[in-house]
Amino acid sequence: MTLQWSGTSIARPQEIYDYLYDRSPQGAEPVFEAILASAERLADFPRLGRESPHYEREDVRELIVADHRVV
């Protein structure tokens, strides 16, 4: 399956990284990498994660990574 980033979601990982970097420079990179890796895992395994309660579609899944929702 192809990973599709929405217009707003393309910038979110970088925004999260910047926010975390201001608070913990050494902790920002692992969270950033985990978010990107989770998105790739959803592309490789589309049924991974739970159905998102925010969408009424069976094909939309979400994972929680370090308090951030990857849909």
Non-local CB neighbours of 52 within 8 Å, separated by 6+ positions: 60, 61, 62, 71
Amino acid 26: pLDDT: 94
The conformational region for residue 49 under phi > 0 = left, psi -120 to 50 = alpha, else beta, is: left
Find the domain containing 42 and state its range.
7-70
- Count of domains observed in the chain: 1
Q: pTM of whole model > 0.85? A: no
pLDDT in tens, 22-67: 999 999 999 989 988 988 888 888 888 888 888 888 888 888 888 8
Residue 52 maps to a domain: yes
Residue 1 maps to a domain: no
Residue 2 maps to a domain: no
Residue 15 maps to a domain: yes
